[in-house]
Structure 1
Amino acid sequence: MEMAARASGPSDLTGVREVLLAPAPPRRATALFATRTFAWRTLLKIKHSPDELSSALIMPIIFTVWLTYLLGGAISGSPQEYLDYFLPGVIVLTVSLTTTYTGIALNLDISRGTFDRLRTLPIWRSSVIVGAMVGDVVRYATVSIIPLLLGLALGYRPGGGFTGVLFALLYLQVFAFSMVWVWTLFGVSVKNPTTVQSVSWMIQLLLSLLSNIYVPQETMPGWLRVVVDVNPVTYATTTVRGLMDGTLTSGQLTAGLVTCAVLVAVFVPLTASQYLKRWR
């Protein structure tokens, strides 16, 4: 014992003595503190992995320039008219694509064993997901503002003015919160991160193509409109476009909000069930 004490040194024994003589164990982290910690962790991931943001931004930026100046005249008569129609849809597309990263990041934590370490901590179980979603607010704001700035530089002028754009960006936060539960369900249900990413992006691609992001659904054949009219991205695009153009009707706003409510009502219980199974 004496030889071990000499080998460890006075400084090591001081640290051990402080732990043994501590009056009480550290207090358990509150739900708010744990959520704030995981939100900060998400922000640090964005800081140290900017490629996640760049990959979500590059495609919409290319699409904006390419479709506006190559096909805009053929679709709407002039590139400027098509830009006025297309830009709100690009912003919805960008935010919608970005929502997949929450599920992918959660699945990576599970596959790498980080999730198992978190399970041993005395924290609120849902703080891992809630904190990630709170931190993603910054991500959604960033990826929605940059395409908007590009559109303004190209000549887009929102008819709804600053107020319409502001409410459109706020609605996008609500829509992103609703959509992220879909990909979080994938994140906690699928074992392979590569599968989560490929399936999420494939579904996102289908949702964007089978929507009114690129062209009005009134120009589509009847059988295709049936699919487009039940697509949540269509309702989100209609709401954002109406807010930014200043033409939103009460019916369109109601449909956009109901779409978000339905997504939450369906996917939150499913995600929570799978997540709690993982936590046990």
Structure 2
Amino acid sequence: MSDLLAPAPAPRSHGTGPGPRPPCAGRPALGGAAVLTARALRLSSRTIDALITALLLPVLLMLIFVYLFGGAIDTGTTRYVTYVVPGVLVLCAGYGAAATAVTVSTDVTGGIVDRFRSLDVGGTALLTGHVAASVVRNAVSTVLVLAAACMIGFRPAAGPAGHLAAAGVLLAFVLAFSWLAAAVGLLASSPEAASGFTFLVLFLPYPSSAFVPIGTMPSWLHGFAEHQPVTPVIEALRGLLLDQPVGTAAWTALAWSAGITAVSVALAGVLFRRRTGG
């Protein structure tokens, strides 16, 4: 009887008591970003059509340029595939990075951000998770593009140092445009509107040295083609992979990437606070 009349123990608080807490509460930002990166990758694996497009579209574009247009384009190299592969790698990276805008916009408009905030998951971890997932997706697609290129005759002449330097330049480019895409996703009113950023990024490699030398373009286009952010990335990759002099192209590419990343990270932070009210 005395046991029945004994007062029930007070419930433990999730915020301050020793009782169980939400799974992400109090988790360091790096750990939360790792969890959300895994989540973003799982979501990517479930959208089979988008995943196949992201992985196979660059390979198909390379085959189209090499076998349909390559015979009519004189770039001064022995084979057109040698010239075009760096441009396709950048096109592939840009397309994969731009997809981050859609995934971020989907989270913001779908209400999941409010649930994450109730679990003490901040905007930094959420956005970093999307960007890290973009890097992983781009790494896979880059390997596929290089494998397909080698099958049709691309032979990189770089040593280990050259390959590492090329990977570093491409990684910096992917990070920059992934953060820019995250900011666009926060700014867009819907995932459909955010997807428009993909078309913009897909367009950038065309008025550059990706597929034809800039000297063959109309003179009024030379200024933009030579000084836009994609061109130095392509020139750096081409020189590094083929073991040719790159001049200042690599440093210019890294400077562009660093500037875009810094501005995009700051802009994404402001937009996230405005969009979520915290």
The two structures have a TM-score, normalised by structure 1, of 0.86
The answer as to whether partners of 2:54 and 2:95 remain within 8 angstroms in 1 is yes
2:106 maps to what in 1?
108
Displacement after TM superposition at 1:222 (Å):
2.0
- Corresponding position of 1:8: none
Alignment match, 1:257: 254
Q: Secondary structure at the match of 1:246?
A: coil
1:170 offset after TM fit, Å?
2.8
Greater mean deviation of Cα atoms: 253-262 or 157-166: 157-166
Match of 1:51 among 49, 52, 56: 49
More helix by share: 1
Please give the secondary structure, in 2, of the residue aligned with 1:33: helix
Q: Does the aligned pair in 2 maintain the 1:144–1:169 contact within 8 Å? A: no
- The answer to whether residue 197 in structure 2 is matched with residue 203 in structure 1 is no
Q: Pick one of 126, 133, 157 that aligns with 1:135.
A: 133
Verify the 8 A CA contact 2:12 2:18 in the aligned structure 1. no
- 1:32 aligned to which of 17, 30, 33: 30
Give the one of 233, 236, 239 matched to 2:233.
236
Distance change in 2, residues 1:84/1:124 (3 Å):
same
Structure 2 distance, partners of 1:240, 1:64, is 16
In the alignment, residue 113 of structure 2 is paired with which amino acid?
A: F
Once the two structures are superposed, the pairs formed by residues 1-280 of structure 1 within 5 Å of their partners are 20=12, 24-25=18-19, 26=21, 28-76=26-74, 81-197=79-195, 199-280=196-277
Post-superposition Cα deviations, 1:68-126, rounded to whole Å, max 9, x if no partner, equal 12221211279961100001111111011000121210100112111222222223331
Aligned-residue RMSD, C-alpha: 2.4
Q: Which SS does the other structure have where 1:76 is aligned? A: coil
Distance 1:129 1:85, change over 3 A: same
Gaps in structure 1 of 5+ consecutive residues: 1-15
- Structure 2 distance, partners of 1:267, 1:59, is 26
Q: Return the letter of the residue paired with 1:114.
A: I
8 Å contact kept, 1:39–1:132: yes
| Range with greater deviation from structure 2 (177-186 or 81-90) | 177-186
Q: Percent identity?
A: 27
Q: Which amino acid aligns with 1:128?
A: L
**Match for 2:248: what amino acid?**
G
What SS class does the counterpart of residue 205 from structure 2 fall into? helix
Unaligned runs of 5+ in 2: 1-7
Aligned length: 264
* Matched-pair contact (CA < 8 Å) for 2:40–2:133: yes
State how far apart, in whole Å, the 2-side matches of 1:18 and 1:239 are.
Answer: 65
Deviations 1:26-65 (A, max 9, x none): 3622212211111111221233234333212332222211
Normalising by structure 2, we get a TM-score of 0.86
Alpha carbons 1:212, 1:234 under 8 Å: kept: yes
